[in-house]
Amino acid sequence: MNTPEEPAHDRITDAEHAVMEALWDRPRQTAAEVCETVCTPRGWSLATVKTLLSRLVQKGALAAEPDGRRFLYTPLIARDAYVGGESRRLVDRLFGGNAASLVAHLAETEALSADDLDAIETLLKELRP
């Protein structure tokens, strides 16, 4: 069984992630429906979306269900499981597994707004016993 930390799929590229986001927002879409969401903002064609969908099916991230002459695509991995795994890999790769170093880096480079800091403080208070 797959755990959220180690899904059985290959890494998802940035382009594939855009397709996954469209399907996480609304599962069971055709390639044309996914294209309605992602093609215009990214300058992609339907053929590009079909290629990305095919790759995601091969990687085990999507299911393709025949529906007449078309396919309906549904995510096989949950958004939160994917985000959790990617977050852990980022912290491990760039900060030696130390999440506090990531937060410190963001604070030092002024990437955190006052609202971000307030939200982090609130979260920390909720997490502490």
Boundaries of every domain in the chain: 1-96, 98-129
pLDDT of residue 75: 98
Q: How far apart (Å, rounded) are the C-alpha atoms in residues 59 and 11? A: 8
The percentage of residues in the chain with a pLDDT greater than 70, rounded to a whole number, is: 93
Asked if the model's pLDDT at residue 5 lies above 60, the reply is: no
Orientation of helix 99-108 relative to helix 114-127, angle to 10°: 160
CA 66 remoteness from chain centre: 25
Span 1-96 CATH architecture: Orthogonal Bundle (1.10)
Lowest-pLDDT choice from 23-27, 78-82, 105-109? 105-109
pLDDT bin (cut points 50, 70, 90) of residue 4 is very low
Asked if the model's pLDDT at residue 9 lies above 80, the reply is: no
The contacts of residue 117 (CB under 8 Å, 6+ apart) are 107
The contacts of residue 119 (CB under 8 Å, 6+ apart) are none
